[in-house]
Amino acid sequence: MCPPPEKVNTKGAQKKLMTKYQRSTKRDLSYWEYVDVLHSVQNSNSSIKCSTSLSDQAILRRIMLMLDQFHPFIHDFIENIVDVKVDGNYGYRAIAALLGMGEDSWSLVRNHLLKELAKWSDEYINLLGGIDKFEELKRFI
């Protein structure tokens, strides 16, 4: 046996050239994380903070249509107003729209509510004060 003509590197594996995207360990966001990001972007666009000083910080809110229909003391708590199609399902439509699912996904919201009521029926019966009130609630959904 004779020694190799050059010194051989025996430590570590050979490195492959990779792009920055291929080296990333960041996972893809879930649907709800995309909705949260979209919601936070909309909120950051809706209020602009002036950074002159802590005492002079003013929050400028975006102009929301129909905000004057609510009592002024609640205006600070309203983040968004959605004008939905007026039919018997407008409550479900508003919830679906505010969750980022689209107004037409109202039946999905209603279905989830019915499943919730069925799953936790004993708790809801106790909360509402009897099975009669519970059945009445189910009829209105």
What are the φ/ψ torsions at residue 111 (nearest 5 degrees)?
A: -65, -45
Segment 74-106, tens digit of pLDDT: 888 888 888 888 898 989 999 999 999 999 999
Residue 97 burial (10 A CB sphere; 0-12, 13-18, 19+) = buried
Angle at which helix 121-128 crosses helix 106-119, to 10 degrees, equals: 80
DSSP-derived secondary structure letter, 119? H
- Give per-residue pLDDT as tens, 10-62: 777 777 776 666 666 666 666 666 667 666 766 665 554 444 444 444 455 56
Vertex 58: Cα angle to 55 and 63 (nearest 5) = 170
Domain residue extents for the chain: 29-81, 82-141
DSSP character for 50? -
What pTM was computed for the model?
Answer: 0.48
